Amino acid sequence: MNASAYPLTRDDAQVPPITPAFDTVFSSAFATMLPNLSHFIAAERDMGDISASYDPAYAAWFRDVARANAALDRSLMQLHQLPIQRPEDDPLCRMALLIDAMLNDDDPVWARQAHHHMHLVFFQRYQVAAFSEVAQHCNGLLIQARHLVDALIQLPLFDFSPECVITGDDAADADAPVDEQVFAF
């Protein structure tokens, strides 16, 4: 028998696109954001390896960082604009807000504290307490995001040593040449 003689659907039948039953609009956008976060981490890690050199040969790395940052910003902006339609979207939104806040805050100490707090309350605030396919899918995305946030906090962006801060009397000499400034190393 010829298999092509018996088609599974008629030629004029409208076949709806196959979408997983466990995808919400928010989880789909969140899943798109995760590779962008991964690319951003890799690009920033590469920048840390070249130690802020201004050699023109490193222009490709600077370009990669700018592109990765722009893609991540677009993904996060898209997530912030989406409505939360299901309870399973709440932890995803919370994680997206955390990532965005960590990247946009100028205080590396706050970012490290927020990262630490995320680990302390991960199973209460960053997981869906249900057993449905949607909940399992969202929990998988959140676990993947947690690993990426762990990698994110290890970037040079979040390096901070209290010994490098100019405080008190040293702050008055902040305009002095670097070799005249006193740092408590």
CA distance 52 to 62: 10
Contact of 46 with 62, CB cutoff 8 Å? no
pLDDT tens per residue across span 84-132: 988 899 999 999 999 999 999 888 899 999 999 999 999 999 999 888 8
Q: Give the chain's end-to-end CA distance (angstroms, integer).
A: 82
* Six-digit token string for 170: 């040293």
User: For residue 170, how many other CB atoms are within 10 A of its CB?
Assistant: 14
Please state the rounded mean pLDDT for residues 20-40: 89
Q: Check whether 41 has a pLDDT greater than 80.
A: yes
Query: Which region among 6-10, 109-113, 152-156 has the lowest average model confidence (pLDDT)?
Result: 6-10
Residue 185: the pLDDT is: 26
pTM of the model: 0.72
For 14, 103, 106, 177, 184, the CA distances from 168, given in Å and listed in that order, are 73, 28, 21, 17, 12
> In angstroms, what is the C-alpha Rg of the chain?
23
**What pLDDT, on a 0 to 100 scale, did the predictor assign at position 17?**
54
